[in-house]
Structures are given as C-alpha cells and as structure tokens.
C-alpha cells in the first residue's frame, strides 16, 4: 500500500477571480426564506453572476422545487451567460440568520461528495467564508482507497473532484486564508488516514515508524521507545496493556520548538482493542481499529503547529499498544506500576486506554508544560452521555471551558463535563493505590477522567477530550464527514494552540 506520508490526500485548491472556460460545475450557495431560495452571497461576484444570470438561476431552481434547506442539492443547466460552465450545483445553506462557518463547511462537503468524477469545480461559497469552503470541499472529497484492488478501485466517474477553485473578488485576496485552510484540512486527512488503516497494517511498531517519518520530514525532534526502553524506563501501563500481543508496544515523543510557552499533547494509541481478557463482544469489534484516533489527532496537530510556525513549543507524547487476549496478557486482578510509581489494580482489562495514558501524562508532565491536553477514544460512556458527534471535555475548569468553547466554534462540538468528587472514592483499590474502573457503570466517562486526573501535575492547565464516538463515523456520510475516521479533534487542537499562542 501507499504510505501515509506519500498519499495525495485531497483535491487541488486555488483562488481565482474568474470562471474558466473548462469549468465542469459552478457551485453556488442558496439560502432559504418564506419568499423562496436566494443566492448567497448577494453582494459579490456581480461580474460573474449578473442580475440576469441570478434571475435565470432562481427561475430554474424554483422550477425544480429548490428550497435552500441546509445541504439540499439541486443541479441545473448553466445559463447561457456562464460561458464555459457545463452545469450549476446549488447547495442549500439554510436560514440566513443561522448561517455560520460550520454550515458553509458542511454544505461544501456535501457538494464535494456529490461531484465525484468532476475535474474542475468553481465555487462562490468562498464569498461567504473562504476558509470554511476550502476545508469543506477538501474534507468532503476525502476518500481512502489504498486497500482496493483493481477489482474495486474507483472508476474515473467515481473518483473525488480533482480541483476546486474558490472565487475571490480580486487577485491576492484569500491566499493566506486558503493556505491555512489547506494545511488544516491536510492534517485532518492525515489523522483520518491513520485511523482508517487496518490493524493488520498499523500495529504499534508500524504506527510509530510512520509517525517518526512524518515528524522527521517536517524537521521535528523525535524520541522513540521500544519495548526494551519502556521496560527500562518503568512504563508499566503501556507494557501491561501491550503484553498480550505478539506485536510489542511503543511510545513516541514528537517535539516542535517555536517559542517559550509549552503545550503537552497526549494521545491514546491502541492500534486495536479486543478488550484483552475482558474481551469485547464480536459484533462491531472491527470498529476498534479506530482506538488510536487520539494518537492520530495529536500527531497531526503537532505537525500542523510546525507547518503554521506557531510561536510556542508543542510536544506530543503518544503511547501505542495492541490490547489482545493471550497466555501472556494481563489479567483482571493484576497490579501494575505506572510510570512515576503509582500502582493500579486492573479490574477490567478493557479499561486499558487510561493505563497507557497515565504513563504518557506523567512523562509529559516532566517537561513542565504550561498546558496539557490528552485525547482518547476512551469510553463507551461518552456516547451514552453525549452521542456520537459531541466530544466530552473534562479537566481544570477554566481551561476545560475554554477548550470546549473553541471546539464548538470550529464545528467539532466539544461539551464541558464535570469531574464529580464523589466518584473518585469509587476508584479506590483494596490492594493498590487505584483501581482502573469503578464497581458500577454510573458516570463512566467522568470516572475515567478522574482516573487520569490522578496523574496530571499540579498547577498545569489540563483538558481531557473523550472522542470515542466523534472520532469514527459508523453511520452514513454527513456534511464533510464520510464513513470511518473523521479526524476529530485535530481542528479543535490547532485552534486551541493558536489561542494559546495569541495570549
């Protein structure tokens, strides 16, 4: 297969001030109202969409019953005045008073998914929000095909749109915004690629090798610990989880140095999770290929911070293991010693993510960061509490709320959750410092956060993101999200890093 580092991840993006004669499809935005659909924006590109052309487009849209509802699609013939355009795709934006960047992103994604087999698309959505339109088209066009043979490889008319040109009013406008949007979308696509690569091909050593390749290509500092180094260093959590697999664990640290302020990122890298001896049901277990989505996100975000030259230092500490049942696997009732000395009684081997994260959090804390963010597909309880599209955000209250707010502004929907003190007592062990689960199923997402809090250094602003559902879409495609890896929460992480850098 093609390595993650070598893939062409999305369509070519460019700004343009005009519509070329070889344009296959012009994508326009349409809002809804009681008076019928309206073309948006209504005050830009009048040299392209003249009053006459707009009127003809609206007549045609009315004839096909277009309403302008969010993400509604209507494809119509191009009016005569649009020389060189084969057809027009009108994508709904919903009510104008509710229109925001995320809706533009979603509508652009829907349009991109509808335009497979198209060579060149020009869009006016850039007049509403160029960055959102660019991200939406890029991510909506994403596909993952390295494992398809010639028998099932996409035919020419099934391949993603090749090039998207975003209309701007004059030369030079939008170049900086487009550059950032493309770099961000590429980072999200990189995380998606990692998540979508099957565990047969992305086991701990291979995952670490690919991350190392990407980081070194970006000029970043890399430290890679194999199983011998992990044992010598006392990483009992990572070793305990990984000991049941024939493919030993790894821990990788990737550092970007851009300024004095320090941010630590930690990501759960379970390349496949059977549950270990506390084995999961067979149904849907294949989705556990996504249990390294937190690791993928923090690696991609660290690379993106470097590409954006953010004026801060970012270090990703990423533990990687495969959680398997075998004669060598850890058992319920075992006690392991985490990195740093805390002992943990393993009550449930399927609560393994918190064990490897605890090691990594303590190690990351030795760098004395100002902020620490960990990301994990940690608990099924996250989906029970918040559904499959809303990450739970826990941590120190001020920073937790800040991260959750930023997550919502970029369309990744983070929601602040508490760490109730009464649940902490339920993590007591009869023989060790801590148990890895409570003896009940109440507040499982919160209990996992409380477990991790035991390993976070004092006086560090900390946020824990549980993305068990949002990181992997098992349902139908929506907006700019296809099936499989979503890349959540890469955009949240980079927006938080930018916010810290701007302090």
Same domain for 189 and 94: no
Same domain for 277 and 219: yes
Same domain for 283 and 191: yes
CATH number of the domain within which 355 lies? 3.40.630.10
Same domain for 327 and 458: yes
Average pLDDT, the chain: 95
Rounded to the nearest 10 degrees, the angle between the axes of helix 175-196 and helix 490-501 is: 140
From 53-62, 100-109, 154-163, the region with the lowest mean pLDDT: 154-163
Residue bearing tokens 């696997």: 329
Element holding 449 (H helix, E strand)? helix 444-453
Instruction: Tell me if 128 is assigned to some domain.
Output: yes
Active site (annotated) includes residue 354: yes
* DSSP conformation class of 286: G
Instruction: Tell me if 80 is assigned to some domain.
Output: yes
Q: Distances in Å between the alpha carbon of 159 and those of 119, 441, 493?
A: 9, 45, 30
Same domain for 369 and 293: yes
- Token pair in block for residue 135: 């991200």
pLDDT on residue 9:
66
Query: Is residue 268 very low, low, confident or very high in pLDDT (cuts 50, 70, 90)?
Result: very high
pLDDT on residue 84:
85
pLDDT on residue 2:
36
Same domain for 475 and 365: yes
Which three-class secondary structure state does DSSP give residue 157? helix
pLDDT on residue 157:
81
Q: Distances in Å between the alpha carbon of 81 and those of 50, 88, 125, 321, 412?
A: 9, 12, 20, 59, 40
User: On the CB side of 173, how many CA atoms lie within 13 Å of its CA?
Assistant: 13
Q: How far apart are CA 503 and CA 499, in angstroms?
A: 7
What's the whole-number mean pLDDT along residues 350-373? 98
Instruction: Find the catalytic residue in 250, 253, 354, 363.
Output: 354
Same domain for 230 and 101: no
Bigger pLDDT: 82 vs 265: 265
pLDDT on residue 153:
83
Q: By the 8 A CB rule, do 267 and 299 touch? A: yes
Q: Of 119, 142, 168, which residue constitutes the final position of a domain?
A: 168
What's the whole-number mean pLDDT along residues 449-476? 98
DSSP-assigned beta bridge partners for residue 165: 14, 122
Number of domains, the chain: 2
Instruction: Tell me if 174 is assigned to some domain.
Output: no
Same domain for 275 and 136: no
pLDDT above 70 coverage of the chain, percent:
98
- The answer on pLDDT for 4 being more than 80 is no
pLDDT on residue 127:
96
Same domain for 110 and 202: no
Instruction: Tell me if 190 is assigned to some domain.
Output: yes
Instruction: Tell me if 129 is assigned to some domain.
Output: yes
- The answer on pLDDT for 71 being more than 50 is yes
**Domain hosting residue 105, numbered range:** 4-168
Instruction: Find the catalytic residue in 280, 307, 389, 424.
Output: 280
pLDDT in tens, 407-459: 999 999 999 999 999 999 999 999 999 999 999 999 999 999 999 999 999 99
CA quadruple 298, 301, 305, 311: dihedral sign: negative
Instruction: Tell me if 442 is assigned to some domain.
Output: yes
Query: Is residue 171 very low, low, confident or very high in pLDDT (cuts 50, 70, 90)?
Result: confident
Q: Of 141, 168, 195, which residue constitutes the final position of a domain?
A: 168
What's the whole-number mean pLDDT along residues 374-402? 98
Same domain for 281 and 190: yes
pLDDT on residue 1:
33
Q: In what order do the strands lie in the sheet with 434-435?
A: 335-337, 343-345, 434-435
Same domain for 139 and 244: no
Query: Is residue 497 very low, low, confident or very high in pLDDT (cuts 50, 70, 90)?
Result: very high
Q: How far apart are CA 304 and CA 192, in angstroms?
A: 14
Q: Of 122, 141, 168, which residue constitutes the final position of a domain?
A: 168
pLDDT on residue 5:
40
Q: Rounding to the nearest 10 degrees, give the CA dihedral for residues 43, 106, 175, 115.
A: -90
Q: How far apart are CA 163 and CA 121, in angstroms?
A: 6
Instruction: Tell me if 175 is assigned to some domain.
Output: no
Q: Which residues contact 66 (CB under 8 A, 6 or more apart)?
A: 30, 37, 72, 74, 90, 92
pLDDT in tens, 219-244: 999 999 999 999 999 999 999 999 99
Active site (annotated) includes residue 280: yes
Same domain for 469 and 361: yes
H-only helix segments in 127-174: 130-140
Instruction: Tell me if 178 is assigned to some domain.
Output: no
Q: How far apart are CA 453 and CA 397, in angstroms?
A: 12
pLDDT in tens, 39-50: 999 889 988 899
CATH number of the domain within which 46 lies? 3.40.220.10
- Kindly report the three-state secondary structure assignment for every residue of 191-260: HHHHHHCCCCCCCHHHHHHHHHHHHHHCCCEEEEECHHHHHHHCCHHHHHHHCCCCCCCEEEEEEEECCC
């Amino acid at each position: 297969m093609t390595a993650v580092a070598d893939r062409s991840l999305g369509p070519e993006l460019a700004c343009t001030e005009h519509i070329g004669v070889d344009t296959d499809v012009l994508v326009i935005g349409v809002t809804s109202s009681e008076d019928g659909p309206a073309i948006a924006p209504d005050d830009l590109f009048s040299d392209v969409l003249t009053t006459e052309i707009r009127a003809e487009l609206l007549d045609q849209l009315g004839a096909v019953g277009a309403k302008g509802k969010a993400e509604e699609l209507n494809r119509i013939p191009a009016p005569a005045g649009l020389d060189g355009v084969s057809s027009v795709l009108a994508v709904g934006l919903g009510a104008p008073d509710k229109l925001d960047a995320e809706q533009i992103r979603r509508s652009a994604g829907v349009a991109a998914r509808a335009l497979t087999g198209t060579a060149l698309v020009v869009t006016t959505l850039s007049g509403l929000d160029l960055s959102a339109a660019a991200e939406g088209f890029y991510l909506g066009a994403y596909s993952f095909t390295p494992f398809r043979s010639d028998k099932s490889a996409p035919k020419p008319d099934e391949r993603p749109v090749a090039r998207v040109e975003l209309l701007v009013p004059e030369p030079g406008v939008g170049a900086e915004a487009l550059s950032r949007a493309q770099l961000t979308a590429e980072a999200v696509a990189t995380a998606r690629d990692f998540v979508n690569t099957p565990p047969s091909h992305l086991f701990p050593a291979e995952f670490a090798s690919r991350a190392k390749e990407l980081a070194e290509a970006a000029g970043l500092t890399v430290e890679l610990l194999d199983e011998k180094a992990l044992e010598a260093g006392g990483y009992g959590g990572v070793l305990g989880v990984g000991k049941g697999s024939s493919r030993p664990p790894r821990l990788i640290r990737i550092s970007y140095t851009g300024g004095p302020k320090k941010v630590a990122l930690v990501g759960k890298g379970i390349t496949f999770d059977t549950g270990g001896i506390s084995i999961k049901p067979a149904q849907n277990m294949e989705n556990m290929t996504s249990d390294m989505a937190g690791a993928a996100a923090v690696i991609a975000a660290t690379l993106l911070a470097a590409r954006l030259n953010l004026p801060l230092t970012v270090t990703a500490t990423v533990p990687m293991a495969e959680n398997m049942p075998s004669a060598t696997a850890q058992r319920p009732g075992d006690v392991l010693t985490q990195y740093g000395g805390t002992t943990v009684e393993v009550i449930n081997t399927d609560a393994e993510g918190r064990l490897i994260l605890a090691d990594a959090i303590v190690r990351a804390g030795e760098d004395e960061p100002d902020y620490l963010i960990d990301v994990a597909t940690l608990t099924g309880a996250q989906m029970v509490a918040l559904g499959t599209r809303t990450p739970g955000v826990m941590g120190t209250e001020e920073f937790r709320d800040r991260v959750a707010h930023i997550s919502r502004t970029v369309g990744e929907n983070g929601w602040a959750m508490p760490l109730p003190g009464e649940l902490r007592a339920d993590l007591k062990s009869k023989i060790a410092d801590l148990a890895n689960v409570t003896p009940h199923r109440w507040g499982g997402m919160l209990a996992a956060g409380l477990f991790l809090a035991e390993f976070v250094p004092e006086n560090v602003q900390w946020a824990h993101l549980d993305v068990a559902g949002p990181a992997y879409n098992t349902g139908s495609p929506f907006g700019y999200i296809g099936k499989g890896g979503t890349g959540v929460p890469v955009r949240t992480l980079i927006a938080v890093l930018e916010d810290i850098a701007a302090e």
